[in-house]
Amino acid sequence: MDVVETQGIYITPSEMIEYLYCPRFIYFMNCLGIEQHEEQRYKVLKGREVHEQRKRMNPDYVRKRLGCAEKDMDVYMSSDTYHIKGKVDEVLYLADGRLSPLDYKYTEYKEGLYRTHKYQSVLYAILIRETYGKEVVRGFICYTRSKNKIAEVVYTQKDFATAQEIVNNMLEIMQTGYFPKQTSFRIRCVDCCYRNICV
C-alpha cells in the first residue's frame, strides 16, 4: 500500500458497504464516475427517512435498554491515520465508562449479522477511538424493521485488522484504477445496474 498515494483520501462506511456487496461498485462509482440508478438508492433514502423520524422522536428507550448514561447524536468524525470518515448515528456512553457506536438500519434483523453491517460498525469504532481517545470494545445496531431489535457487535483485533485491509484494498482501487474482481455471489449480477458494462 505504501506505493499508493492516499493523502487526503477518505473511505466512508457507506462506501465500504458498496465495496463489500461487490468490489466493482467502487471502481464504477469512484474511478469511472458512473452512479447507480436512483431506484437502487431506495434503501438509502428510506434509511434517511428513518433517521429523520428517529431524530424527531428522540427515542431514549434504546439508551435505557443498554444502560448508558448519555449519548452524542449525529457525530461526524474523520481519521487521517486510517483514511476513513463518517457520521455515526449515536455515540453511547456506557455504564462501564466505555463508548460504543449505535447505528440504525432500515432493514430486518437476520440471524447472523450481515458482514456489511459488522464492518461498518468496526469503522465507527475506529473513528470513535481516534476522536475520543477511548477504547471501544463493542457496538450496537438497531434494526428498525424488526421491532427495533438491538444487535451487539463485540470487536476483536482480527475485526480491526480486517477492516483496515478492506480500506486499503478500496484505496488501492480508487487511487490506481485497478479493476477488481467480481463478487463471488453471482446472483447479485442479475439485477445489477452495471451488468451491461461489467464483463
| Site residues (vs ligand SF4, CB under 6 A) | 22, 24-25, 182-183, 188-189, 192, 194-195, 198
Give the integer Cα–Cα distance in Å for 68 and 64.
Answer: 6
Q: Give the nearest distance from C-beta 39 to ligand SF4 in angstroms.
A: 15
Q: Give the nearest distance from C-beta 29 to ligand SF4 in angstroms.
A: 10
CB of 43 or CB of 48, closer to ligand SF4:
43
Q: Give the nearest distance from C-beta 22 to ligand SF4 in angstroms.
A: 3
**CB distance 91 to 72 below 8 Å:** yes
Q: Give the nearest distance from C-beta 188 to ligand SF4 in angstroms.
A: 4
Q: Which residues pair with 151 in a beta bridge?
A: 141
Give the integer Cα–Cα distance in Å for 131 and 121.
Answer: 15
Give the integer Cα–Cα distance in Å for 102 and 20.
Answer: 20
Q: One-letter amino acid identity for 18?
A: E
**CB distance 12 to 86 below 8 Å:** yes
Give the integer Cα–Cα distance in Å for 129 and 134.
Answer: 5
